[in-house]
Chains A and B, each alone.
Chain A
């Protein structure tokens, strides 16, 4: 049973526009959410996170929104750049030093 779901395997966006990547979760014990970015043949790199006590966190061009009642989070990238083309993984964990649970990823292609 998948606890973290990324229902869009791929997304294509024009350079300069907004990219919106979505993630849903089923485990109500999750209280910390992260986004990772992964290029081919490299390890994932941490992008941004949000605690369940917040509904928004912003870092430069990247903003994560959390809707706890809907068990949904999204990553907004504005403006999108060709270098943002990568696979984005949503991850979640619950308190108490538990491992991260990952979604299947969404491949973002930013077209110049």
Chain B
């Protein structure tokens, strides 16, 4: 059974803190993604990675960075958390393929910045 696991379901952090969101997949997928979901805005892509040590900016990368040191792990970093980064964060993974396929999502991390 495919599995994408995010390290925390709920997090509360203070403004200005450095925040790490971790994601691990056990499907040997090359692609990994970070999205955020906000009411009325849907899922928006923050960053993605096609391979170890590779990263590409998505639609809303400002205020975020990522790290992919191992194939199975993709970390999202909020360098200095702000209240407008309060959101549901969703990690996903998929196969690297020219023929499109679905992405598998983790359970999400609800981050609140106070």
Contacts and interface: CB of A to CB of B under 8 A. Distances in A.
Interface of A: 6, 9, 31-32, 34, 36, 41-46, 49, 51, 89, 91, 93-97, 99-105
A102 B42 contact: yes
| Interface residue tally on B, bucketed by range | 20 to 34
Contacts of A103: 42
B103 to A, nearest CB: 6
B64 interface: no
A91 B105 CA distance: 13
19 contacts: A9-B40, A31-B100, A41-B108, A42-B108, A43-B4, A43-B90, A43-B105, A43-B106, A44-B105, A46-B102, A46-B103, A89-B42, A95-B99, A99-B58, A100-B33, A100-B103, A102-B44, A103-B42, A104-B40
Interface string B70-114: 000000000000000000001010001111101111111010000
Nearest to B99: A95
Interface of B: 4, 9, 31, 33, 35, 40-45, 48, 50, 58, 90, 92, 96-100, 102-108, 110
Given A42-B107, A43-B90, A99-B58, A93 B100 contact: yes
Given A34-B102, A43-B106, A43-B107, A97 B42 contact: no
Could you say which of A31, A32, A99 has the most chain B C-beta atoms within 10 Å of its C-beta? Answer: A99
Could you say which of B45, B98, B100, B108 has the most chain A C-beta atoms within 10 Å of its C-beta? Answer: B100
B100 A104 contact: no
A51 B98 CA distance: 13
B108 A43 contact: yes
Contacts of A49: 102
B31 A97 contact: yes
B96 A97 contact: yes
Contacts of A45: 105
B11 to A, nearest CB: 13
